[in-house]
Amino acid sequence: MARKKDGTTPRNIPIIALNAKAMDNDRDKCIQAAADEYASKPVNMNDLFAKMVRLTGRVHN
């Protein structure tokens, strides 16, 4: 994971875990490993952008 478990990585950097071969509990594993959100392939771009907006509070036009 990109966020260190010891807490030294800034919490303000959103991490969306992306998985190609999603299993039923993969989302939970990624969230437990410090990801802020999860997406699996095939990626729904509208869903991904909605997650990005929710995590950052920004809308890019």
Which pTM was predicted?
0.71
Residue 43 is assigned to a structural domain of this protein: yes
How many independent structural domains does the chain possess?
Answer: 1
The range of the structural domain enclosing residue 45 comes to: 16-56
The pLDDT value given to residue 2: 57
In this predicted structure, the answer to whether residue 3 has a pLDDT above a threshold of 70 is: no
Cα–Cα dist 7/9, whole Å: 6
Confidence of residue 5 (pLDDT cuts 50, 70, 90): low
Residue 1 is assigned to a structural domain of this protein: no
Residue 11 is assigned to a structural domain of this protein: no
In this predicted structure, the answer to whether residue 13 has a pLDDT above a threshold of 60 is: yes
Residue 37 is assigned to a structural domain of this protein: yes
Residue 45 is assigned to a structural domain of this protein: yes
